[in-house]
């Protein structure tokens, strides 16, 4: 990294270079966490974005295309949020390498857009020093300009631009005010910054001093403290009310997922049934009809109807995260984390594991301590992910009456779902304790958590999240689950004898189910559930499509519906055992793959799969015998 503070000659060196005539094709978006960088990225690229991983590392690469008024497209890379350019964590290393053009897989950006929080400019300006020192054309965006104004702060943009030697714009990415200035910059020739005297970059106090001086030159007046954030924190972090609200939020979210989506799910279910019957009526009887209607339609349909519930879950996670409440929840929960030897940073991945363990495991990269990171990776799949939701929802709806337990708010069904979330969490916590007191013992790094101001989540950001999750869900349904369903249908129709498929119990699939039956009988499962357990190794929710297909192919249960067919097949104890089994077992190929990649070998995923499997078997055994 260049240290321009020490080299006064850099001024003449930069002047000698002519402005680049060719249009810049790639622009990097840089900024500290919580500066609204991603909101601006969404504004610039809209739906023209994609998420991938930087090859070789586990940092997510968000790229998109901003379309300029003249129709030209500019590639935008949204780099991970960073406080400085001294690379220590993997995130910062990637940002550093991309900006310096050290990565062969990513085109070196021709320009930089630095996004800073206008309400906290003095400190955030520190990041301007190393960014300007790169010598790339740079635009400095002061985001949250609306907050600055309403809270009585101000800044002289022209003066700041002179001080930094680069264009500056005060915008509000949330409302879209001023975003046209960013497009103007992208469409312009993008001049390199005028060389200025920059501080020694390694010296934090010097950088802060420089940032403060630049700020006061631009007559920056910091806004008064956000009134509503204080008021809300007073309530949400109240010693008594705080934890109660925390619990109410968790219960409320789970209740709403279950209740609000129920009518949509029911409607979708009958939609699939009616359309399935219609397809059956127009197609001639035969193998094709059987594959389409009984295999694919019933199988896929029984999973797809849970899309509303999954989207509700991600809607709530999105609202909690974007509003700023999630950081407070992490604060309230930190003591529990500390007690099991984990640091607060483990909390965010664990919370996002309620959505899906795969991104959660990838997000553990922010944990610098390797042992803490592995411990977090190992316990993340215990958190109740959205793929378990269809299984839980199906079994709970089939076996647990919807009677009030604690008033109307907590019915028996809600309590059961809540209990499953708690069981998963306890298993995670217990495993963490075990790991941290044995193989993964380590000293802690300091826990640092920035509390963002409370904000209204925007429809755009929530919408993009939901769209993204819906795509993931449908892609899984259209690939893994579809494939497993078709294979299952084929195996259920072999061996073919006398021009007729066998009875499901005598088919290849049935034989496999019967083979493992002795192993799972102690848990209260029969061979049909056994087939579901095998197919759910690919992805948990596949058991729902499998059972949907099996019962659909079996003439005895064809007409009674999935719930009734299950009730005929499983005792109450067996249903509980199945729920416990799914709470603990690691049935997810994607998670196994991501753990192997993140931990760099097969040792940890094999250990994790075995441990979770044994725990699931023992847990299910106990549940069956206690309740049965």
Partner 1 sequence: MLQLSGNNAAPEVLQGSLLDLETGDAAVLDRLELPVDDARRLMEMGFLPGTRVIAGYSAPGGDPRVFQVDGSEIALRRETARNLKIRKDSRKSTKPARNL
| CA dihedral sign of residues 226, 232, 236, 241 | positive
Rg (CA), the chain: 28
Q: Which residues contact 586 (CB under 8 A, 6 or more apart)?
A: 381, 592, 608, 609, 612, 613
Q: Which is nearest to 145 in space by CA: 122, 177, 167?
A: 177
Least Å distance, CB 580 to partner 1, is 31
48 or 234: whose CB is closer to partner 1? 234
Question: CB 243 → partner 1: shortest distance, Å?
Answer: 6
Q: Which of residues 119 and 352 has its CB atom nearest to partner 1 in the complex?
A: 119
Q: How far is the CB of 454 from partner 1 (least distance, A)?
A: 11
State in angstroms the smallest separation of the CB of 266 from partner 1: 41
In the complex, what is the shortest distance from the CB of residue 446 to partner 1, in angstroms, rounded to a whole number?
4
By C-beta, is 83 or 183 nearer to partner 1?
83
619 DSSP 8-state letter: H
Burial class of residue 368, CB neighbours in 10 A (0-12, 13-18, 19+): middle
- Pick the closer one to partner 1 by CB: 342 or 377: 342
**What gap in Å lies between CA 563 and CA 349, rounded to an integer?**
34
Between 453 and 599, whose beta carbon lies closer to partner 1?
453
Quick check: 26 and 110 in contact, CB under 8 A? yes
In terms of CB distance, is 449 or 606 closer to partner 1? 449
Which CB, 126 or 166, lies closer to partner 1? 126
Q: How far apart, in Å, are the Cα atoms of 425 and each of 245, 289, 345, 347, 383?
A: 19, 44, 16, 12, 6
Q: How far is the CB of 202 from partner 1 (least distance, A)?
A: 9
Determine the Cα–Cα distance for residues 346 and 79; give it in Å rounded to an integer.
22
- d(Cα 41, Cα 28) in Å, to the nearest integer? 10
| Nearest CB to partner 1, comparing residues 119 and 309 | 119
Preceding amide of 495 cis, omega within 30:
yes
Q: 3-class SS at 60?
A: strand
Residue nearer to partner 1 on the CB measure, 126 or 400: 126
Q: Is 47 exposed, middle or buried (0-12, 13-18, 19+ CB in 10 A)?
A: exposed
**Minimum CB separation from partner 1 for residue 237, in Å?**
4
Nearer to partner 1 by Cβ, of 342 and 595: the residue is 342
Shortest Cβ 611–partner 1 spacing (Å): 29
Question: Which parts of this chain interact with partner 1 (CB under 8 A)?
Answer: 83-84, 86, 88, 119-123, 126, 204-205, 208, 222, 225, 230, 233-234, 237-240, 242-243, 327, 331-332, 334-335, 338, 344, 444-451
Q: Which DSSP letter does residue 523 get? A: G
Q: How far is the CB of 557 from partner 1 (least distance, A)?
A: 51
Q: Which three-class secondary structure state does DSSP give residue 135? A: coil
Q: Which residues, in sequence order, are CB contacts of 295 under 8 Å at separation 6+?
A: 485, 486, 488, 489, 492, 549, 552, 553
Task: Give the Cα separation of 244 and 250 in Å (integer).
Answer: 10
Instruction: Tell me the closest approach of the beta carbon of residue 327 to partner 1, in angstroms.
Output: 8
- In the complex, minimum distance from the CB of residue 88 to partner 1, in angstroms, rounded to a whole number: 7
Shortest separation between residue 216's beta carbon and partner 1, angstroms: 14
Using the minimum distance from each CB to partner 1, give the nearer residue, 124 or 469: 124
Nearer of residues 123 and 514 to partner 1, judged by Cβ: 123
Beta strands 60-67 and 49-53, pairing class: antiparallel
First to last CA, the chain: 67
Q: Contact at 8 Å (CB) between 40 and 87?
A: no
CA torsion sign, 373 to 375 to 381 to 382? negative
E strand segments, 135-209: 138-143, 168-170
At closest approach, how far in Å is the CB of 121 from partner 1? 8
Name the residue among 432, 435, 437, 406 with its Cα closest to residue 419: 406
As to burial, measured by CB atoms within 10 angstroms (0-12 exposed, 13-18 middle, 19+ buried), residue 377 is: buried
Distance of closest approach, residue 126 Cβ to partner 1, in angstroms: 7
Name the nearest CA neighbour of 108 among 148, 77, 67, 154. Answer: 77
Which residue lies nearer to partner 1 by CB, 226 or 299? 226
Q: Which is nearer to partner 1, 146 or 334 (CB)?
A: 334
């Amino acid at each position: 990294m260049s240290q321009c503070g020490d080299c006064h000659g850099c001024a003449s060196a930069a002047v000698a270079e002519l402005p680049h005539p060719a249009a810049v094709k790639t622009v990097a978006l840089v900024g500290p966490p919580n500066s609204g960088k991603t909101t601006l990225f969404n504004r610039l690229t809209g739906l023209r974005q994609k998420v991938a991983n930087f090859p070789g590392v586990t940092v997510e690469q968000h790229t998109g295309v901003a379309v300029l008024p003249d129709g030209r497209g500019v590639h935008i890379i949204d780099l991970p949020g960073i406080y400085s350019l001294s690379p220590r964590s993997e995130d910062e290393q990637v940002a550093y390498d991309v900006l310096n053009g050290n990565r062969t897989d990513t085109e070196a950006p021709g320009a930089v857009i630095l996004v800073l929080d206008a309400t906290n400019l003095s400190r955030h300006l520190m990041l301007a020093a190393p960014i300007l020192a790169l010598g790339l054309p740079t635009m400095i965006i002061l985001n949250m300009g609306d907050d600055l104004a309403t809270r009585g702060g101000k800044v002289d943009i022209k003066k700041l631009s002179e001080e930094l030697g680069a264009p500056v714009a005060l915008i509000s990415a949330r409302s879209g005010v001023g975003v046209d200035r960013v497009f103007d910059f992208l469409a312009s020739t993008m001049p390199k910054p005028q060389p200025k005297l920059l501080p020694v970059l390694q010296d934090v106090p010097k950088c802060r001093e420089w940032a403060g001086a630049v700020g006061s030159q631009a007559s920056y007046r910091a806004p008064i403290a956000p009134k509503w954030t204080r008021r809300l924190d007073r309530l949400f972090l109240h010693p008594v009310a705080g934890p109660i609200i925390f619990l109410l939020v968790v219960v409320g979210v789970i209740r709403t997922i279950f209740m609000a989506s129920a009518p949509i799910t029911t409607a979708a279910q009958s939609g699939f049934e009616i359309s399935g019957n219609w397809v059956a009526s127009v197609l001639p009887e035969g193998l094709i009809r059987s594959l389409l209607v009984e295999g694919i339609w019933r199988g896929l349909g029984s999973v797809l109807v849970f899309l509303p519930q999954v989207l509700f879950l991600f809607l709530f996670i999105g609202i909690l995260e974007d509003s700023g409440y999630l950081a407070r929840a992490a604060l309230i929960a930190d003591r529990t984390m500390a007690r099991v030897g984990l640091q607060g940073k483990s909390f965010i991945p664990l919370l996002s594991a309620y959505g899906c363990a795969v991104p959660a495991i990838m997000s553990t990269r922010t944990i610098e301590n390797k042992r803490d990171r592995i411990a977090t990776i190992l316990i993340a799949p215990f958190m109740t992910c959205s793929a378990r939701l269809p299984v839980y929802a199906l079994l709970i709806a089939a076996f647990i009456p919807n009677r009030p337990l604690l008033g109307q708010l907590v019915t028996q069904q809600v309590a059961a779902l809540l209990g499953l979330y708690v069981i998963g969490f306890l298993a995670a916590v217990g495993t963490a304790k075990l790991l941290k007191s044995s193989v993964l013992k380590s000293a802690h790094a300091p826990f640092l958590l920035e509390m963002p101001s409370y904000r209204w989540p925007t429809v755009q950001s929530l919408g993009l999240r939901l769209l993204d999750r819906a795509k993931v869900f449908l892609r899984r349904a259209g690939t893994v689950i579809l494939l497993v369903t078709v294979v299952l249908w084929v195996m259920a129709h072999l061996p073919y004898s006398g021009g007729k498929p066998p009875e499901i119990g005598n088919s290849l699939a049935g034989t496999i189910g019967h083979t493992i039956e002795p192993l799972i009988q102690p848990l209260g499962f029969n061979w049909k559930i056994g087939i579901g357990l095998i197919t759910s190794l690919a992805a948990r929710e596949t058991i729902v499509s499998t059972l949907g297909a099996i019962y659909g192919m079996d003439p005895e249960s064809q007409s009674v519906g999935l719930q009734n067919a299950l009730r005929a097949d499983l005792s109450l104890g067996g249903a509980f055992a199945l729920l416990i089994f799914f709470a603990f077992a690691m049935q997810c190929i994607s998670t196994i793959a991501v753990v192997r990649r993140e931990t760099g070998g097969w040792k940890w995923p094999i250990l994790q799969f075995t441990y979770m499997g044994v725990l699931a078997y023992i847990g299910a055994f106990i549940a069956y015998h206690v309740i049965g």
